Amino acid sequence: EAGVAQSPRYKIIEKRQSVAFWCNPISGHATLYWYQQILGQGPKLLIQFQNNGVVDDSQLPKDRFSAERLKGVDSTLKIQPAKLEDSAVYLCASSYGGVQYEQYFGPGTRLTVT
Amino acid sequence: AQSVTQLDSQVPVFEEAPVELRCNYSSSVSVYLFWYVQYPNQGLQLLLKYLSGSTLVESINGFEAEFNKSQTSFHLRKPSVHISDTAEYFCAVRASGSARQLTFGSGTQLTVLP
């Protein structure tokens, strides 16, 4: 069974530029999560999708971050414009159902904003 | 709301020695507890979890953790570590019986020395 795929693995941009990350969850997994992991901290949930609907985006900085999950499969997380403090690893995870099911994590995208 | 404290950011230990990674949590409601492991350049993997029942839970690779409700702790232990156990370990908590999300600790880097 293929795992959660993410691309790109690394990205370096200048502040005020835009960036997008892509995630392909495990086949058949209805729930998809995006986390932000700042160096020295644990992952923090940004947004959770159930199929193509948003379940929780309470910690998503909506003035600059956006995410979509068209057709309930792949997802894209966008930052526009980026700030220095957005430098982090962005993790995508998926699970068969809601939070009671185990989450499977992708390898992450390491973003550096200069 | 829940919070997790991992008391040690780095734990160096010699091969075949025992190790304990400490985790304390704070919550006003009952919780589920988890340990995740992150090997270099890989995504997080679930190592073990406590949902209910026996307070001692074990993983397939020799780790164990004990839920101590009175001390609000969920420390991870292994009696004899291997070089391959070198990784970052994250403790996480979720309120039981709800749709609440995972809250992660800041992680402990375990380095096993030859």
What's the token pair of residue A85? 């403090």
Residue A57: CB atoms within 10 Å:
17
For B18-59, what is each residue's pLDDT tens digit? 999 999 999 888 889 999 999 988 889 999 999 888 899 999
Facing A43 at nearest CB: one of B41, B42, B104: B104
Integer angstrom CA distances of residue B38 from A96, A103, B42, B92, B108: 21, 14, 6, 13, 10
Share of chain A above pLDDT 90, in %: 81
* Side-chain half-sphere CA neighbours of A27 within 13 A: 2
Burial class (CB in 10 A: 0-12, 13-18, 19+), A14: exposed
Share of chain A above pLDDT 70, in %: 96
CB contact under 8 A, A103 and B45: no
What's the token pair of residue B68? 């101590």
pLDDT of residue A16: 97
Of A92-106, B4-18, B67-81, the one with minimum mean pLDDT is A92-106
For A59-73, what is each residue's pLDDT tens digit? 999 999 999 998 889
CB contact under 8 A, A42 and B101: no
Average pLDDT, chain B: 92
For A20-36, what is each residue's pLDDT tens digit? 999 999 999 999 999 99
Cβ neighbours for A31, distance < 8 A, ≥ 6 positions apart: A48, A49, A50, A55, A94, A95, A96, A97, A98, A99, A101
pLDDT of residue B97: 67
Length of chain A in residues, anyone? 114
Length of chain B in residues, anyone? 114
CB contact under 8 A, B90 and A43: yes
pLDDT of residue A52: 85
User: Å from A17 to nearest chain B CA?
Assistant: 26
For B34-43, what is each residue's pLDDT tens digit? 999 999 888 8
Q: Residue A99 pLDDT > 70, yes or no?
A: no
